């Protein structure tokens, strides 16, 4: 069974911690609408790829059955703490550790008390996973290119299908990555660069219309012009996991987070 739901969502903590600030509150509202869509899809596993879980050696997969704690973002600590309590689909995660060998990627399980869960994973889980479905969490190895990440998404989804999971896929990360480098009046937050803003809107429009050919053609220029978060690899993971089998999307919200671009997108499958 293919994915029952798929989302592209931001990983910065601002919408979760400061929804009282209008620009971020609009993203929080969008995130909540996506959360309702996720609940309606009733996945029994959520596969989540966050650009903020960085790996350098190998591909890492969370395999601790329960992961809980209190996280403080290293940049945005003044906005508050991020408590988390996650359940992990360890059976599927271990299967993925083995399965990535097929695509030439060496994987390792991660099962350690106190392992630092990244902000993006916590934010996405908080908004999208009210039912506390078990997660499959895999890292963003900074040396993996676009194609490797597409393959990683594909092999993960195939593994979920082989194991009979009713699964959803979430790519967690930003659009244009340029941020303000000084303190700003947060109520006036806006996309740092007008050209990046145009590019973000263009790419979202292509996704919304399900124009995969146009999207694939535009992505290299988008990467150069808007410098999306981590090369937009969270989108690569989604494209691989969905095998590009989406016919459109609904953009629940688009806006700035400290100058960077952020969007909550629900794919039509």
E strand or H helix that includes residue 248: strand 248-257
Nearer Cβ to another protein (58/243): 58
DSSP string, 138-157: EEEETT--HHHHHHHHHHHH
Q: How many residues bind another protein (CB under 8 A)?
A: 29
- Per CB under 8 A, the segment of 35-43, 56-64, 95-103, 246-254 that binds another protein is 56-64
d(CA 226, CA 201): 11
Cβ–Cβ contacts within 10 Å for residue 186, how many? 18
Q: How far is CA 170 from CA 109, 140, 188, 194, 225, in A?
A: 20, 13, 29, 27, 25
Q: Tell me how far apart the alpha carbons of residues 232 and 212 are, in angstroms, rounded to a whole number.
A: 15
Q: Is 110 in the site for another protein (CB under 8 A)?
A: yes
Q: Could you tell me the smallest distance in angstroms from the CB atom of residue 1 to another protein? A: 33
Interface with another protein (CB under 8 A), residue from 65, 66, 68, 77: 77
Task: Tell whether residue 31 is a contact of another protein (CB under 8 A).
Answer: no
Under the binding rule (CB under 8 A), the answer on residue 58 touching another protein is yes
Among 1, 40, 56, 194, binds another protein (CB under 8 A): 56
54 binds another protein (CB under 8 A): yes
Residue 52 CA to residue 55 CA, distance in Å, equals 9
Q: Least distance in Å: CB of 56 to another protein?
A: 5
Work out whether 115 is an interface residue with another protein (CB under 8 A). yes
- Sequence-ordered list of residues with C-beta below 8 angstroms from that of 91, at least 6 positions apart, any chain: 163
Question: Is residue 181 close enough to count as binding another protein by CB under 8 A?
Answer: yes
Site of interaction with another protein (CB under 8 A): 53-58, 70-72, 74-75, 77-78, 81, 106, 110, 112-116, 118, 143, 179-183, 258
């Amino acid at each position: 069974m293919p994915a029952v739901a798929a989302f592209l969502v931001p990983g910065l903590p601002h919408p979760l911690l400061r929804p009282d600030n209008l620009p971020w509150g609009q993203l929080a509202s969008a995130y909540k609408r996506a959360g309702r869509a996720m609940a309606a899809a009733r996945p029994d596993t959520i596969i989540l790829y966050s650009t903020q879980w960085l790996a350098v050696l190998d591909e890492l997969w969370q395999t601790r059955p329960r992961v809980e704690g209190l996280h403080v973002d290293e940049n945005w600590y003044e906005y508050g703490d991020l408590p988390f309590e996650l359940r992990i689909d360890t059976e599927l995660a271990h299967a993925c550790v083995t399965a990535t060998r097929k695509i030439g990627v060496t994987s390792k399980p991660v099962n350690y008390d106190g392992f630092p869960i990244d902000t993006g994973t916590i934010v996405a889980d908080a908004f999208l996973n009210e039912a506390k479905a078990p997660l499959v969490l895999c890292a963003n190895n900074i040396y993996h290119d676009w194609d490797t990440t597409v393959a990683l998404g594909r092999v993960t989804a195939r593994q979920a299908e082989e194991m009979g999971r009713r699964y959803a896929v979430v790519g967690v990360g930003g659009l244009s990555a340029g941020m303000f480098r000084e303190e700003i009046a947060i109520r006036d937050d806006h996309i740092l660069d007008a050209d990046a803003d145009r590019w973000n809107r263009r790419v979202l429009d292509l996704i919304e219309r399900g124009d995969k050919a146009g999207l694939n053609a535009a992505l290299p220029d988008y990467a150069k012009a808007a410098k999306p978060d981590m090369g937009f690899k969270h989108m690569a993971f989604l494209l691989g996991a969905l095998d590009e089998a989406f016919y459109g999307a609904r953009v629940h919200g688009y806006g700035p987070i400290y100058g960077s671009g952020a969007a909550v997108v629900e794919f039509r499958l």
